[in-house]
Chains A and B, each alone.
Chain A
Amino acid sequence: MDRRKLEEKFFMGLMIASTFIVVGSLFAVFAVVIWKGAPALNLSMITQTPKGGYYLGKEGGILNAIIGSLYLAGEATALAFLLSLPIALYLNEYAGKSRLASFIRLSLDVSAGVPSVVYGAVGFTFMLYLRMRVSLFWGIITVTLLILPIMARAMDEVVAMVPFKLREASYAVGATRLETVLKVISRQALPGILTAVLLAFGRGIGDAASVLFTVGYTDRIPASLFDPAATLPLAVFFQLGTAIPEVQQRAYASAAILLILTLSFSVASRLLTRKFSKFVVR
């Protein structure tokens, strides 16, 4: 029987080692990027746009990219939200277990797995077809399509968890389906809905391949929807590609900013879920 115990101990060792490697890689990424980016992190990075000669190592910051990303991700998230909520509610309240619902869910899950570069290529195609130029507008359209499946499915799962008793209670007092949906179910699912929104926002702000073709890049803060805009991921990418060490340093700092931003959203969404759950019925 010693052989059995030995085998178990051996695999336990392997399992714990694997877990260490997996969790360790998270820390490795975080630590290295922050450590390398910290030296170049100063206030001017986040408060100034690139001045002339920025890419040669002179002054400025990446405010253009920060604002550009916030506009882009913000508006794309809002647009995706306007679509996702009705979709999630429809799938659960009206379509139920029908074939249509299963098909749509499968389609959304599959869409969520499509590479962002494909979304970018398609957005680019339509942009050319309409003879338009790279702009914030096309970035928003592309990113909305990118994050829509993720947000819709996340909301779908949250709404599905609303207990049947709540629906029953609402119908029992004579509410219509729409009223039940708007007043009872949305409120119950609110924390989960918020999490889905934050999740999608984090995805939208961090994606590079979808905005590469459609938004362009510029040193200025976009003044209108049809201006090109800078985005944080591309700021990192382009700065890293230069040969000048100071600029490369700034690339790491930009990466650190982006990392901190997206991780904060992840953590915030988790904490908010717990906080808002106070009003939720168990």
Chain B
Amino acid sequence: MLKNVSLTVEGRGMTAIIGPSGTGKSTLIRCINRLVDPTSGEILFLGQDIAKLNGRELRRIRRRIGMVFQEYNLVERLSVIENVLTGRLGYVAVWRAWLRRFDPKDVDRAFQLLDAVGLGALANQRADQLSGGQRQRVGIARALMQDPDLILADEPTSSLDPKTSVEIMELISKRAGERDIPVIVNIHNVALAKRYADRIVGMSKGEVVFDGPPRELEDSHLLEIYGGEGWLE
């Protein structure tokens, strides 16, 4: 599916990957935190090749990478605050998770993050009682809870209405920016990509066909990426 993709992402800022469905955007993102395994090649993260790591070392890397999912992927039966605290699981012992006895500083930080995403009042609600936009905010808080060096977002707005999509992209952009965390986002809404990304990577048929700042993204590039005719305004 992915052919000879070579990308370097550095420093703060949002990189948006755009392209038609099935072209491998999601696969690319999921390779980074090894939810999908690459068949060959290297993934250098913080100077270390993580393509072949397993077990505890892989988990140590994963906890440095936060992820926001298209379907939010919250644990529905748990409360909002518990879902945010899930972000600390890579750092705490199992018994703390089982008894829900997290370090008070972690709990406080979780509350602060909930405030930062605008959900301070909903900490004790069960996750399945929230709207889509609210759930995604919790997802963002969970990713931030990991204090990550990188945030991956796999189509974070595809299940949301247009207004909420903008709010979510705004939130990701701001919060990650405040903390100097680079974001790699996989998105099919080109307008949102142009609005929030510092760099756009266009993929088509498993290969990178465009790589540059949003202002350089022309209609010709879009046609090359998405193919077809007559769909551009």
Partners in one complex: no
| Chain B residues at the A interface, C-beta cutoff of 8 Å | none
| Chain A residues at the B interface, C-beta cutoff of 8 Å | none
